[in-house]
Every structure is written in C-alpha cells, then in structure tokens.
Amino acid sequence: MGEPVVELHAITKRFPGVVANKDIELTVHRGTVHAIVGENGAGKSTLMKILYGVQQPDEGTISVEGRARQLKSPADAIDAGIGMVFQHFQLADNFTVLENVVLGAEKLHGIGDGARRTVQEISDAYGLDLDPDVLVEHLGVGAQQRVEILKVLYRGARIIILDEPTAVLVPQEVDELFDNLRELKAEGLTVIFISHKLDEVLSVADAITVIRRGTTVAEVAPKDVTARDLAELMVGSELPSPSTEESTVTDLPLLSVESTSLDNPLGGRPLLTDVNLTIHSGEIVGIAGVEGNGQDELVEVIMGIREPTSGRILLGDVDTSSWHTREIREAGIGYIPADRHRYGLLLEAPLWENVVLGHQTEPVYVTGPGGTLINGAAARQEAEAVVEQYDVRTPSIHVTAGSLSGGNQQKLIIGREMRREPKVLVAAHPTRGVDVGAQAAIWDHIKQARRAGLGVLLISADLEELVGLSDTIHVILRGRLTGQFDPDRVTKEELGAAMTGATATEGAA
Amino acid sequence: MTSRFDLRRMGMALSAPILAIIVAVLVTSAILVAAGDPVGEVWGTILSVPRPRVVVAIINAAIVYYISAVAVAIGFRMNLFNIGVDGQYRIAAFAAAVVAGEGWLPGPLNILLGLVVAMLAGGLWAGIAGLLKVYRGVSEVISTIMLNAIATVLVAFLLRKVAPQTGSNIVSTKPLPESSHVSGLPLIPGVSREVYGLIILAVLIGVVYWFILGRTRFGFDLRATGRSESAAVASGVNVKRMVLLSMILSGVVAGLVGMPLLFGQDYAYGTTFQPGLGFAGIAIALLGRNHPVGIVFAAFLWAFLDQQSNALQITAGVSDRLVLIIQGVIVLSVVIAYEVVRRLNVRIEQRRVAQALAAQAADVKEGAPA
C-alpha cells in the first residue's frame, strides 16, 4: 500500500440545525480504491463536497500528498490534484468528447491538435476507449461517465472522487467501470468511491470507511468483512427496527394500477410497461428498485401528474386515469414526494402556507362562498397541530419552510398529509434525510394509520425500511414490475439481485 | 416571541428600494459631472417642492401608472412576463372609446359599459398570448411583444375606419357624450386642474388585487405557482389553466389603464392618446415589488420624477430625458438589490431559526398566536 495521499482529521461541518459531519477521520493511500459507505443522509456527500472545496469545514484539517491544504473552492481542489465525478453528469450533449473535455480547461493544451493528442493519450493509457470526435449525445451512459473521468484526468487529477458512480449504470457497465478503476490505480492514481451498494464496494475497494450519522465509525478491509457486517456497521445496532407487527391487510382494494404503460415522450424505451399492482386497505406495498427505473413515473401516473399512455388507475372501483391531480388528492390520496424541495414545499413561504399546500380545497382550509377563500386562521391552527404532533422543530409557524433543516421539512410534509387522514398514501422515500429518532416516529405514524385501514405505496431506497414496513414488495426494473416478494422471507441479497436483473453472485464478480 | 419577524422583514424590504434610489442618484450625478452639467441645479429642480398644479399632474400620472403596474404584477406573481400591457391598454381604450362614443346608454351606465368593454378587450388580447403559451408553448414574452406591434397597427388601421371625417390632422374616435364625462375631484386647492375621478378605480383595483392574491384560493394557487411550479403541480394546481386565467386577468386590468384618461381628460381615443404606459408599468411593478402598497409608492416616485423633470431644460439647461437615465438605473439597481436582500433574508432566517432552536429547545409550543 502506498503512502497516504489524503488525510482528513477531525472534520466537522454544521448546517443550520444539523451537524452534517462530525469528527471525520479518513486516510486514503496512493494507488488504492477507497470506498466510503453509509446510508442515504449519513453525510457522505457533505464530506466529499468538503474534500472538493465546494464547502468549507467548520473544524478539522485536510492534507493532500503530505501538505496541509485549505480548499476554498473546486479550483483549489483541482490545483491540489483532486477531481470529482458527480452523479449527475455535467456534459454538453451537442459537443464532442474532445470539446467537452477541453471546455473550461482551454489553457492546458489549447483547443486544437495538442488537446486532441492529450485526450487520445489519456484515453489509451487508462483504457477509457473514447473517440475524441464523437458527439456526447451518441454515447451511452457508461461512456459518458468515462468522459467525465477523462475530464478530470485531463485537468491533472491524481485523486479522483466518484459520487455514487454505479447508481446510473446497468450491471454490465458497472463491471466495465470497475475495470477502468483498476487501470487507474495500476497507474498510481487514487480513487475515492462513494456508494451504499455493499456488493460493489466489496468487489472493487481496497479499503472501506464506514460513515454513520455524520461520523466515521470504522475502517475495514474488504477481505475481512461480509456484506452483512458492513450493513450492520452502516446501520448501527441502535437503529430501531421498522418491522411491522401482525398483518392488517384486508381484501378491500383501495387503489389498483391495471396494465399501465407510459411512453417516453423523448422516444426510446417506455418509462413504464404493463404495470399491475393493487393496494388493499391496511396494506403497505413496497417498491424496490435502483433509482431511475420508473419509480418516479409510477408515482406521477398515480398522482395524475402524468397521464398513462395505456391502462387504468382505479380508486376503489372508479377509474381515475384521466383525473387531474387535484381531484385525485381530494379523493383522499396523500402524497409524499421524493424531492421535497422541488415537489413538496414552497421554500420561501411560511410553514402554515406549506401546510395548506396540496390541500387547498380541503373544507378545513377554505371558507367563504363556494370555498373560494383560504381560511388563514384555520390553516395556522392546523399548522400548529402538525408542528406539535409531528415534532417539527421550529420557533414558529411563520418562518419560511426553507429555513428548517431537511428532517424537519420532511416531518412537516408527513404531518400535513397524515393530518388529513388519507385513504391511500403514496410515499416516496418518507424518511430520507431524517435522523434516527424522527425516522422511528414517521414509521410509527405510518403503522398506526395502517392499522386504521390506510393503504400505502412505499417507495424507498432503504431496503431495511422496505422489508420492515411492507406487506408486499414489488421489484421495479426498467419500468416493469419484475418480481413480487414476501418481505418476511426475502433476503436483501435476493432483492438486490432482482433489482439489478442479475443474480447476487454475478453482481459481486 | 411572535416570530413573524415583521419589523425586520419590513426593514429589509424597504432597504432595497432606498439603496437602489441612492445608487441611481450617484450614477446620474456621475453622468452629469462627466457631461459637465450643473449637478446641483439638476437635483435642485427635481427635488424642489412641486407647485400645486404639478402635484395634480403627479397624482394623475400615478393613478394611470398604478393600474398599469398592477396589471404587470399579476403576471409577475406567477412568473409570467406580460410585456404586452402596452398593446392591451391601447386596444382596450380604443374599443371602449368606440363603444362609449356611441352613447347607447345614458350617463353613468355608459361609463360602466365603456369600462366593461375595455376589460373584455384587454382580457381577450392578453388571452391570445395565454392560449399560445398553454397550447403551443410560445413564450409569453415573445408573443406579447409581437401583440404590442400588432395592436399598434390594428388600432391605427381601425381608427381611420371609425374616425369622423373632420378635415383636421388629429384623427380620433367620436367624442364621448357630455353625460359620460367623469368629473374630476378638486383635491388640491388653488388650481383649476382636478384629480381624475377614476382614482376610485385605481383604489378599487389595488384592494381587489390584494384580496384575490392574499385571501382567495385562486390567489394561493397563483402565488404557489410563482414560487415553485413543480410544487404547485404536485399540490394539484392546474398550471395550464392558471397561466391562461392569470394572463387574462392581467389583460383585464391592463384594459383599464387608459380609462382615467379616456373618461377624465381626452374623452376620445385618438392619435394623441398617451403611449408607453405599459412599459412604465413593468418598471413600477418591479420597483414596488408586486405589492399592492409598494406599487403605490413606486407609481408616485415614477410620476414625481416625470413631472419634476419637465422644468430641467429651463432651469438647468439639461434635457428632461435625463429622467429616463434615473429611472433606468433605479430599475436595474432595484432588481439587483432585491435579489441580494432576498438571499440575505434566507440566510438570516436560517440562522435565526437554528439559534432560536438551540436557545430554547423545549419552548416549541409558544409560537405566534396567529
């Protein structure tokens, strides 16, 4: 193992209301692939943003290749030899590979033959297999990712951070990426690899650091641990189990999705193909899948945000496929969107207005002739109730939603939906980014409502949550429901295999 | 602690326009110095106490500006840029003048008819842009600018058709019957000039605007759409319908812009009817932050600068066009200042919330009593 190239000591970063990172200790050695694993919201991304100069730590020291560094901006990080490949690519589709690589780094090798030669050399040296003159829009996702890696190398990076690089890849592309990573480390480069997929981490990493609730809890070698050990380290023993008690499932169907398909307006593979599922009163139906396999679209079709190309959505026995979102919400479907900032909140509006959002036509919030006026007093009263019952930590209901921490924003959304006593709750990642205590409280609220007959469609990236809460689990893969599992019997490995469309052993090869 | 942060918010809200005005004064002074013009005399003229006659002129101009700015603000509140108020008010004033000029109905009823026709015409004209946006995805900025140009030509064309042949150079619609004149209000003593009687219309528009936006479900949906279209869609707002409705509503108000002029001063629509009110409305809405009261101050400031600059040529030997520079710089700096203040506000509030929580973790329930 080479000498240490990145050393983080006692890194702490606070955001209003939360501590994102606390006393982080991390040492990465030259020529290794170093994985950083942790659950969603554990603080991995904040840590990497600190290392890439996007955010500055409140405490702690960073040294790169033996020199103490103050990384005040990405430019400083690049200067120190650190490059980052983000999960969401930052490429111009209508530019060639060469143009994308050179963009913003014209000073290094010009924009002509010198640049082309360098791009070709790097591509050959690390087996990236990229033609400099191909338009990026003609490349697959895996190749686009390699363009991002090439960009970073072109700028002289010796330490490359990859943020959840496999989230967007199919299994075969994952294998190719791992081959590339092995090439990189063979050439003496260092890779920091962020993931929460344990099988992948075990197959590619030389060292693994586990982050839990914002702090580093262990550093282990992959040969010494199993996926199960890692999962335990990530989750921690104090995590309350979401497991449901006795079944409350009835045979009264509340919401049925019948052979529903949704074409991709941009062409290509349909976003949803022949989806069938039924949610009964008192039942929690979980959807497991790698992000971007149609979960968002399924939710949007049910909520009336998109109209399905074919098929029917039934609420009870009423066809709601052509209903508008407002009618669907009025009919008693609660909605917890995956992206609370974009779809769940008005960040610059006060909390009490956010409590009304999505329920503007509910009798409790309206007044006047025909319910055309908003009843501000009632809305504020409800907001106070939500804040109290759902433990939203805020000094008042008049502060803007944007000034709350993420976990408290999520509790506000949960509270506003649950207070209206929905018949069906469509919940996408209901506990993403909330702390452990709040997570348990949210689970309790959902379980309680379920006993009273609530039907839930639960979409989650947290398998623990899915297995623990659900009565039935469907796996979604490329827009199709590819398997149904009983959460009491299924193992995480089986689910993981079904989610990627491969078997567990192949995935780890 | 009531935690509405009202005082602080108001302070922040006021600091931006004041800052913008200070910047405008500095920039304008720099231009005057560079051009070798008398800085002191220019400001002396602009900032002098207006004579009663000018006060009336300021009030009258502000009335019209106010209506125009509210029309623009309705669009702004949901991120729609209705650049077309200018065309909308001219089409509407023309239509109202033609219909009211016929004097089909007696006295006040004829005035009411004129107002309704103006609202319909303005709403329809703006509705074209709304339809184009909803069904064809045409940016309302582009379509309203185009519709302005079309309105100019269309009104000129139709004016020739309906204008009585008098032999005079001034082409205008048939004059309103005497009984349809809205008499002025002698608010300022000592001058013969009177304030437009339709000041009442501007007040009414302001009140209705405040009420609809702040109190109704429609207003809630509109503001939600303006703040975050994606969140509004997820909450069940039919954004297409909202775009169309708010565009039409904006046009309806725009249609009323010319009414104080028509019924209180010109009594006909002709080639001399005051142009450019729609564009002033954009600037005034920005300056007044789309707020029903904020726009009042902005409209008065605009009208004050306009009227006070008239004397510049005589007293300081400087073109009264200078006022356009002042107004332009105010708008530019106010846009920047509002954004700076907005970001500052977000940061300050986040910090205050964090502090408040840390300081009194247990004391959550003592929120504001509403």
A288 contact B CB<8A: no
Closest Cα of chain A to B71: distance in Å? 22
Last residue of one domain, picked from the residues A394, A421, A448:
A421
The confidence score (pLDDT) of residue A136 equals 87
Whether residue A254 is found in the same domain as residue A373: no
A311: left (phi over 0), alpha (psi -120 to 50) or beta: left
Within-domain flag for A337: no
A218 in the same domain as A169? yes
pLDDT: which is higher, B4 or A82: A82
B219 and A344: CB-CB below 8 Å? no
- Shortest CA gap A335–chain B (Å): 8
Q: At residue B314, does pLDDT exceed 50?
A: yes
The complex's ipTM? Answer: 0.84
Query: Residue A251 carries which DSSP code?
Result: S
A248 and A217 belong to one structural domain = no
Contact A374 B220 (CB under 8 A): yes
For B349, the 3-state DSSP assignment is helix
**pLDDT (0 to 100) of residue A503:** 44
Nearest-CB residue to B234 (from A324, A335, A373)? A335
Residues A150 and A268 in one domain: no
How close A380 gets to chain B, by Cα (Å)? 7
Same domain, A230 and A247: no
Q: Which residues pair with A380 in a beta bridge?
A: none
List CB contacts (< 8 A) between B221 and chain A. 360
Looking at the complex, report in whole angstroms how far the Cα of residue B213 sits from the nearest Cα belonging to chain A: 10
- Sole residue written with tokens 């409590």: A355
A19 touches chain B (CB under 8 A): no
- Does B3 fall in a domain? no
Q: Could you identify the residue written with the tokens 């023309």? A: B94
Binary contact (A396, B368; C-beta < 8 A): yes
Domain stops at, among A421, A456, A481: A421
Q: How far apart, in Å, do the first and last CA atoms of chain B sit?
A: 12
Min distance A466 CA to chain B CA atoms (Å): 24
Q: What is the DSSP letter of B174?
A: P
pLDDT, tens only, B265-290: 999 998 889 999 999 999 999 999 89
C-beta of residue A52 within 8 angstroms of C-beta of residue A63: no
Nearest CA in chain A to B365: A388
Residues of A with Cβ-Cβ distance to B346 under 8 angstroms: 348, 400, 402-403
Least confident of A19-33, A47-61, B161-175, B188-202: B161-175
The verdict on A259 and A385 lying in the same domain is no
- Nearest partner of B312 among B304, B321, B301, judged by Cα: B321
Residue pLDDT tens, chain A, 509 long:
678 888 988 888 877 556 678 888 889 999 899 999 876 667 787 888 888 888 888 888 898 888 888 888 888 898 889 999 887 788 888 888 888 888 888 778 877 788 888 888 888 888 888 888 888 888 877 888 889 889 888 988 899 999 888 776 766 778 888 988 888 888 889 999 888 777 788 888 999 998 887 888 888 888 888 777 777 777 665 445 565 566 778 888 999 999 999 998 877 788 999 999 999 999 999 998 877 788 899 999 999 999 999 999 999 889 988 899 999 999 999 999 988 888 999 998 999 999 999 999 999 999 888 888 999 999 999 999 999 998 888 888 998 998 887 788 999 999 999 999 999 999 998 987 776 677 888 888 898 888 889 999 999 877 778 888 899 999 998 899 988 998 888 877 777 778 777 543 333 33
Q: Which of B216, B236, B238 sits opposite A373 (nearest CB)?
A: B216
Q: Is residue A24 part of a domain?
A: yes
| Chain A contact probe: residue of B353, B360, B365 with most A CBs at under 10 A | B353
| Chain A CA closest to residue B237 | A326
Pairing of strands A472-477, A284-288: parallel
Q: With contact defined as beta carbons under 8 Å apart, do A183 and A126 qualify?
A: yes
User: Residue A337: which of B217, B227, B234 has the nearest Cβ?
Assistant: B234
The torsion defined by the Cα of A409, A415, A319 and A486, in degrees rounded to 10, comes to 90
Q: Which residues of chain B neighbour A400 with C-beta distances below 8 Å?
A: 346, 349
| Nearest residue of B to residue A380, measured between CA atoms | B370
How many distinct structural domains can be found in chain B? 1
Choose among B3, B217, B230: nearest Cβ to A360: B217
Which one has a higher pLDDT value, A248 or B240?
Answer: B240
- Residues A298 and A353 placed together within one structural domain of the fold: no
Give the separation between CA A351 and CA A395, rounded to whole angstroms.
11
Q: Are residues A315 and A354 in the same domain?
A: no
Q: With CB atoms and an 8 Å threshold, state whether B364 touches A394.
A: yes
B215 contacts A398? CB cut-off 8 A? no
* Chain B CA closest to residue A400: B349
b/e A242-267 (16+ beta carbons within 10 angstroms → b) = bebeeebbeeebbbbbbebbbeeeee
Indicate yes or no: CB of A404 within 8 angstroms of CB of B353.
yes
Which of B220, B245, B342 to probe the A interface (max A CBs under 10 A)? B220
Closest CA to A117 of A82, A85, A143, A154: A154
Q: Classify residue A133: in a domain, yes or no.
A: yes
Residue A395 lies in domain: 344-421
Q: Could you list the residue range(s) of the whole structural domain that residue B196 is in?
A: 56-273
Same domain, A369 and A449: no
Residues A464 and A318 in one domain: yes
- Alpha-carbon distance B223 to B78, whole Å? 6
Write the CA distances from A36 to A43, A216, B65, integer angstroms.
Answer: 10, 9, 60
**Domain holding A33: CATH number?**
3.40.50.300
The whole-number pLDDT of residue A1 equals 61
A307 touching chain B per CB within 8 A: no
Q: Does residue A125 sit in the same domain as residue A77?
A: yes
- B358: nearest CA partner in chain A: A17
B336-341 — which CB contacts under 8 Å span 24+ positions?
B336/B20, B337/B15, B337/B16, B337/B17, B337/B19, B337/B20, B337/B23, B338/B16, B338/B289, B340/B16, B341/B12, B341/B13, B341/B15, B341/B16
pLDDT in tens, B327-368: 998 888 888 888 888 888 888 888 888 777 777 554 444 443
Asked if A325 lies within 8 A of B235 by C-beta distance, the reply is yes
B99 in a domain, yes or no?
yes
Q: For chain A, how big is the Rg over CA atoms in Å?
A: 24
pLDDT band per the 50, 70, 90 thresholds, residue B315:
confident
The domain tally of chain A equals 3
Q: Give chain B positions within 8 Å (CB) of A335.
A: 234
pLDDT digits (tens, 9 = 90+) for B78-107: 999 999 999 999 999 999 999 999 888 988
Among candidate residues A235, A256, A285, the one where a domain is terminated: A235
Residue B241: closest C-alpha in chain A: A324
Q: Taking CB atoms and an 8 Å limit, are A357 and B364 in contact across chains? A: no
List, in sequence order, every residue forming a beta bridge with A7; answer none if it has no partner. A27, A63
Per CB-CB distance under 8 Å, the chain B contacts of A324 are 236, 238
The answer to whether B346 contacts A403, with C-beta atoms less than 8 Å apart, is yes
Contact flag A394-B4 (C-beta cutoff 8 Å): no
Cα–Cα distance, B148 to B145 (Å, whole number):
5
Chain B residues within an 8 Å CB radius of A371: 217
Mark yes or no for CB contact B236/A356 under 8 Å. Answer: no
CB within 8 Å: B217 and A395: no
Q: How far is CA A361 from CA A351, A379, B120, in A?
A: 18, 12, 29
Do B228 and A345 make contact, defined as CB atoms within 8 angstroms? yes
**How many angstroms away from the CA of B227 is the closest CA of chain A?**
6
* Same domain assignment for residues A85 and A208: yes
Domain presence at residue B74:
yes
Q: Which residues of A touch B227 (CB under 8 A)?
A: 346-349
State the Cα–Cα distance between residues A76 and A79, nearest whole angstrom. Answer: 5
